Amino acid sequence: MFSAASNFFRRRPVTVADPAISDSSSTYEVPLYTNAAYYPNWRIYRKQPPSSLRLGFISHVFYSFAWVKEDGTVYLSDEWADTQMPVDGTEGCLRAFVQLKQQYSQMRVILSVGGGGKGSEHFAAVAHSRSRSETFVHTARQLVDQFGLDGIDIDWEHPADSKQGKDYVRLLARLREVLPAPRYVLATCLPAGQWALQHIDLSAAQKYLDMMNLMTYDFAGPWESETGHQSQLYGTPTSCYLSVSYVLSQGVPSRKLILGIPTYGRSFLESNGPGQRYTSCGGEDGVFDYRDLPRPESQEVLDNQAGAAYCVGGDGGFVTYDIPATVQQKAQLVTTTKLGGLFYWHICSDSRGPRSLIETGYNTLHDM
């Protein structure tokens, strides 16, 4: 098993034609598997700058989030944190990540646009309008060029009907024209449930995308009346396996599909397992960082059949989350079904050492 970060980029040569390179043909190398992570810009206020992160195991950083104005303009959600705050000897977290590419030469930094709530509220109107879409793609490209980034991730949560699904595909097509491959990465983040995915022609969408990040988590939470595993590998009505199977059945090449791993746990008080009633949620908004799990005085349990883990007892009640053993199972699903790799929401809440989910995923993916 490869346990050193320096071993991550064991690569295969790929010859590409890139008009941005003076030579019409250039040979470069790509990692066997993606091991990507999101970085939410608000975590800088918890003293977690880019330099504090273990990036040697990371192929792509998705910097979250830029937002979208009603007129289609893509803008940074926190100008102070993103471009002005003194961070790692430069101005802003974006520049701090980009300068780390000198140390991690194969790491790509991608701007994620959207997210939940305010971040996605204007996507539907913008994608439906040709003029607003033009504003969107050109302002997105301007931010990429301004900060020396490697691409854009569309995190529209999410097209609500087939009409919006068609607009979403058209927006991707226009973005691909403005951000041509292979110079730029174009990615998207999608819900795992068929209830949302059914509105999108996934076969058409994938033609414009390099990566499709499947949010295979939040299967359970405070919006449900009963407890459940939040990211189970197997089971019903929702699981990682069922979600992957559905997307692949829609004509998406397996190598474009990236499986999501949560680095947090969802808490349900006054319960001790899945399928139970609960009184309320513990932690911050019902969530604990993975690095703070299992909770003190609780017992950690692995459900091998479901491919899920949880702890019971302590101040969290029933807390559902991933552990190294479940990440190993999910990484093995990636390798056996020839998916593109794994991504994590988010890098700042992972643990260190043998309990690190990100390192476990990397090690398992590249265990040859």
pLDDT tops 60 at residue 2? no
Buried residues in 255-280 as b, exposed as e (16+ CB within 10 A): ebbbbbbbbbbbbbbebbebeeebee
> How many helical (H) and strand (E) elements, i.e. helices and strands, does the chain have?
10, 18
Q: Say what the pLDDT of residue 250 is.
A: 97
> Using one digit for the tens of pLDDT, what is the confidence trace for 38-93?
999 999 999 999 999 999 999 999 999 999 999 999 999 999 999 999 999 999 99
Separation CA 327–CA 114 (nearest Å) = 27
The structure's pTM equals 0.91
> Using one digit for the tens of pLDDT, what is the confidence trace for 170-190?
999 999 999 999 999 999 999
Q: What is the mean pLDDT of residues 25-30?
A: 37
DSSP 8-state symbol, 317: B
Q: Say what the pLDDT of residue 49 is.
A: 97
Q: Say what the pLDDT of residue 198 is.
A: 97
Q: What is the mean pLDDT of residues 151-160?
A: 96
Q: In the chain, at which residue ranges do the beta strands (DSSP E only) sit?
A: 11-16, 26-31, 34-40, 60-68, 74-76, 86-87, 90-91, 108-115, 151-156, 185-191, 211-215, 257-262, 264-268, 287-289, 298-303, 308-313, 318-321, 341-345
Q: What is the mean pLDDT of residues 346-364?
A: 97
pLDDT tops 50 at residue 293? yes
- Residues 229, 307 contacting (CB under 8 angstroms): no
What Rg, from alpha-carbon coordinates, does the chain have? 20
Active site residue 157: yes
Q: What is the mean pLDDT of residues 296-319?
A: 96
DSSP 8-state symbol, 50: G
Q: Say what the pLDDT of residue 31 is.
A: 54
Separation CA 311–CA 275 (nearest Å) = 15
Strand, coil or helix: 324: helix
Q: How many residues in the chain?
A: 368
pLDDT-based confidence at residue 117 (cuts at 50, 70, 90): confident
Q: What is the mean pLDDT of residues 5-30?
A: 34
Using a pLDDT cut of 90, give the percent of the chain over it: 88
pLDDT-based confidence at residue 30 (cuts at 50, 70, 90): very low
pLDDT tops 70 at residue 347? yes
pLDDT tops 50 at residue 22? no
**Which position has the higher pLDDT, 284 or 324?**
324
pLDDT tops 70 at residue 13? no
Structural domains of the chain, with CATH: 5-263+323-365 (3.20.20.80)
Q: What is the mean pLDDT of residues 143-167?
A: 97
pLDDT tops 50 at residue 21? no
pLDDT tops 80 at residue 3? no
**Which position has the higher pLDDT, 17 or 220?**
220
Q: Say what the pLDDT of residue 368 is.
A: 47
Of 70, 157, 226, 270, the active-site residue reads: 157
What average pLDDT is seen over the chain? 91
pLDDT tops 60 at residue 5? no
- Exposed, middle or buried, 102 (CB in 10 Å: 0-12/13-18/19+)? exposed
